[in-house]
Amino acid sequence: MIIAIGGEVFNVGGGSGISVNELIELLEEITGKNAKITHIENQKGDVRDTLADTGKISNELNWKPNVKIEEGLKKFVDWYKTRVRKE
């Protein structure tokens, strides 16, 4: 079913938080490569924690996440390797 909702903005997320460091670790595991990391001081406007509120998309479109971050990242990396950057 396709629902047209013009001009609406929805947060899409998995319902749980993940730190940048955890995300990097996952990507390192999936790709088998080590990230080159440079730590710098917090920048003006940096947000320490953020989490998508998916209440609106759940209520209006009956949407809920069904792909865990690990699975989604693996799918993205596979897609990237085959369509964007061939190693």
Dump pLDDT digits (tens) for 33-85: 999 999 999 999 988 888 889 999 999 999 999 999 999 999 999 999 898 87
In a domain, 37, yes or no: no
Within-domain flag for 20: no
pTM of the model: 0.74
Instruction: Tell me if 7 is assigned to some domain.
Output: no
In a domain, 48, yes or no: no
pLDDT at res. 24: 95
- ∠ CA 59-56-62 to the nearest 5 degrees? 35
**Residue 1: predicted pLDDT:** 53
Q: Is there a domain that residue 64 lies in? A: yes
Task: Give the tokens for residue 50.
Answer: 């953020």
Say if CB 70 and CB 16 are below 8 A apart.
no
The answer as to whether 5 is a domain residue is no
Torsion sign across C-alpha atoms 75, 19, 15, 9: negative
Provide the 10 A C-beta neighbour count for residue 36.
5
User: What domain count does the chain have?
Assistant: 1
Structural domain that includes position 72 = 53-87
Q: How high is the pLDDT of residue 74? A: 97
Q: Is residue 73 part of a domain?
A: yes
